Amino acid sequence: MSLSTSSDIVVRTKSLGKAYQLYARRNDWLKQVMFGWWKSFFKPFWVLRDIDLEVRRGESIGILGRNGCGKSTLLQVICGMTLPSHGELRVTGRIAPVLALGSTFDLELSGRENVMIGGAVLGLKRSEVLRKFSSISEFAGIGDYMDQPVKHYSMGMRTRLAFSICAHVEAEILVVDEALAVGDAAFQRKCLDWIDNFRKTGTLLFVSHSMAEVRRLCTRAIWIEEGRIREQGDPSTVIRNYHRALLVEKDDVHRFSASE
């Protein structure tokens, strides 16, 4: 199947699906590894199905959905951490994932050493990290803690440092997954301002449970339900419908437990 080479579209997925392999018995994976060419020994568990998505340069997309609906998996697939099981995916440009901020920090090492490793993992050259170091530490604003082991950091400080590293990658596509929930209001505002600024040149994919953030940052909202795109379009419309559905579902749960 031929794909258009329009440089305007930075992320394009076509009937994208992702299935995890569920094994009935614990050691069936071994059979799968050895005899997978013959038949499959797992049940596919589809977390994403039929995702058709086109993201243009400069767009910022808010992704809504309940826990476990496949939002994070979609981001992981787009970032290339895990391969889709079905469909096509095309990503053009340097992509920076801001997922689970700070979880890759080595607690024993200092903030400084973690910046070196974190930068390298995000694809920066050593010289680039060294050049940007003062800017990174200024953005993080954690002062002398930079030379302390990360185990002495608070959760908020870790988030600050991690976001600060990501903010210096010079990505063309930024993928943010509920990253800003931990920081204090001042830092959140700083991050949102930075993202606002980033949007002038780059493309943003953004998962958040804060409707205010989505409304403020996004030009388009996508509502994912049970691995499929249920609705996409103007953020306020999608958010309104999503809220309405959430209310109904709450109602559903109540009815369900009442009838039991």
Residue numbers at the binding site for another protein (CB under 8 A):
1, 3, 20-21, 27, 29-30, 33, 79-95, 97, 99-100, 103-104, 106, 108-109, 113, 116-117, 119-126
Task: Tell the smallest beta-carbon distance from residue 106 to another protein (Å).
Answer: 6
| Nearest distance, CB of residue 126 and another protein, angstroms | 5
Of residues 75 and 195, the one with the C-beta less far from another protein: 75
Residue in this structure with the two tokens 């059979």, named with its chain if needed: 31
Q: Is 167 helix (H, G, I), strand (E, B) or coil?
A: helix
Toward another protein, which CB reaches closer, 85 or 241? 85
Which residue is listed with tokens 């579902």? Answer: 249
Q: How far is the CB of 3 from another protein (least distance, A)?
A: 7
> Which CB sits closer to another protein, 27 or 259?
27
Question: Quick one: 165 exposed, middle or buried, by C-beta within 10 A (0-12, 13-18, 19+)?
Answer: buried
**Shorter beta-carbon distance to another protein: residue 29 or 194:** 29
| H helix count then E strand count, the chain | 8, 9
Nearer to another protein by Cβ, of 125 and 215: the residue is 125
Q: How far apart are CA 172 and CA 152, in angstroms?
A: 33
**CB-facing half-sphere around the CA of 206: CA atoms within 13 A:** 30
The gap from C-alpha 130 to its chain's centroid, in whole angstroms, comes to: 26
Q: Which is nearer to another protein, 120 or 248 (CB)?
A: 120
Q: Could you tell me the smallest distance in angstroms from the CB atom of residue 235 to another protein? A: 27
- Minimal distance, residue 192 CB to another protein, in Å: 22
Q: Which is nearer to another protein, 115 or 211 (CB)?
A: 115
> Smallest distance, Å, CB 31 to another protein?
12
Give the gyration radius of the chain's Cα atoms.
Answer: 20
DSSP state of 179: G
What is the rounded CA–CA span in Å between residue 200 and residue 249? Answer: 37
Q: Write down the residue that tokens 């980033």 correspond to.
A: 198
Helix (H, G, I), strand (E, B) or coil at 44: strand
Distance CA(138)–CA(194), nearest Å, equals 14
Residue 175: CB atoms within 10 A of its CB come to 25
Shortest distance in whole angstroms from residue 257 CB to another protein: 34
- Compute the 3-state secondary structure of the chain and give helix, strand, coil in percent, each to the nearest 5: 45, 25, 30
Cβ closer to another protein: 13 or 223? 13
Write down the least CB distance from residue 156 to another protein, Å.
Answer: 19
